[in-house]
Amino acid sequence: MKPTHPDHAPPADAAARRAIKPVICYPVETLPRPDLAALRRARAGWTKTAEVIVPAREANFFEVPAGSFFRIVSIDGPQVGDLNLWSLQDLNERFYSGKTRALHGTHLSTGDQLWSSIPYLRPMATITEDTLDWYGIDEHGGSVHDVIGTRCDPYTHHLLSGGETYHHCCHSNLTRALAEETGLMKHACEFHVHDVLNVFMCTGFTRDTGQYFMKASPVRPGDYLEFFAEIDLGGALSACPGGDCSSEHSSDAAACYPLKIEIYRPQDRPEGWGSPAQNGYDRTHGCDLD
Ligand SMILES: [Zn+2]
């Protein structure tokens, strides 16, 4: 955090330096864009192929073939979900929250894509419907579906609580779900768990101190976030122990509800759509050595 009383006096031209207009780091005008209308048309006559319930304070694994859709649905009460995504063929290719944020902003909605990690860096999923898109950005700078948080985890909780142990943080829930699915040891699995898309969570940064904040999610039963799978996906979703994240997480204090995942297969692949190839950069990094 920035000091209230800086050690160093501002220079004579401080005001001029501060007044410089910002430029967007990653203008996305040249980014290949999904044909959202074609994706949405492909929903007509689709078939629901699976439903997965994520119990409160637990996580569950699910699979979505490339070309299918999945929805994360609020069912019994306001509840935040922490989402991890991997390539079904290679756990090393996983959702890259930081680059997704750099490209699409701090909070995602319809038309935004979830990008995979370097060196793959391609769209893993495209958001095709967001029933909370009406929320926008509130007076506190808060919004929903962020890629600025990480995931609640027992290590940070251990540090902040003076040594307490809690086993149902999203990091642990996602680790158990992946271990049960893959048969990998839990210690191996936790290295595959990564920064999440915070589905339905309402977050921002305080304007005065720049601190990460959360507030009660506006999600209500019936709301959903819908994705189109650009590649074969393995996903894990945790129903965060923070519930609607209005007070605290990393404990059993908050009211918590399950979440539902619905998977839909379209009759035909969307017009003009093909599963994206891995990133085309040649990976030489300007280096002659092997
Ligand atoms: Zn959590």
The pLDDT tens digits of the residues spanning 9-19 come to 999 999 999 99
Amino acid, res. 58: E
CB atoms closer than 10 angstroms to residue 181: 15
> Which pLDDT does position 185 carry in this prediction?
83
- Give how far Cα 151 sits from Cα of 118, 135, 214, 261, Å: 20, 22, 12, 19
CA of 152 to the centre of ligand 1 (A): 4
CA of 118 to the centre of ligand 1 (A): 25
pLDDT at 290 over 80: no
pLDDT in tens, 241-258: 999 998 888 888 889 999
> Which pLDDT does position 106 carry in this prediction?
97
CA of 274 to the centre of ligand 1 (A): 34
CA of 282 to the centre of ligand 1 (A): 37
Tokens 């003009």, residue located = 272
CA of 143 to the centre of ligand 1 (A): 17
Report the share of the chain in percent with pLDDT over 70: 100
> Which pLDDT does position 82 carry in this prediction?
98
154 contacts 250 by C-beta, under 8 angstroms: yes
The Cα 232–Cα 229 span in angstroms is 7
Q: Helix (H, G, I), strand (E, B), or coil: what is residue 212? A: strand
The Cα 259–Cα 78 span in angstroms is 9
The Cα 250–Cα 158 span in angstroms is 10
CA of 203 to the centre of ligand 1 (A): 13
> Which pLDDT does position 183 carry in this prediction?
87
Q: Helix (H, G, I), strand (E, B), or coil: what is residue 199? A: strand
CA of 89 to the centre of ligand 1 (A): 26
The Cα 185–Cα 166 span in angstroms is 20
* Whole-model pTM over 0.75: yes
pLDDT in tens, 35-56: 999 999 999 999 999 999 999 9
Q: Helix (H, G, I), strand (E, B), or coil: what is residue 30? A: coil
- Give how far Cα 250 sits from Cα of 8, 151, 157, 160, 239, Å: 38, 10, 7, 11, 12
- Position 227 confidence tier, pLDDT thresholds 50, 70, 90: very high
pLDDT at 184 over 90: no
CA of 110 to the centre of ligand 1 (A): 23
CA of 187 to the centre of ligand 1 (A): 19
150 contacts 166 by C-beta, under 8 angstroms: no
Q: Helix (H, G, I), strand (E, B), or coil: what is residue 93? A: strand
> Which pLDDT does position 251 carry in this prediction?
82
CA of 254 to the centre of ligand 1 (A): 11
pLDDT in tens, 60-92: 999 999 999 999 999 999 999 999 999 999 999
The Cα 245–Cα 196 span in angstroms is 15
CA of 49 to the centre of ligand 1 (A): 28
Cα 108 versus chain centre, distance: 8
The Cα 96–Cα 116 span in angstroms is 5
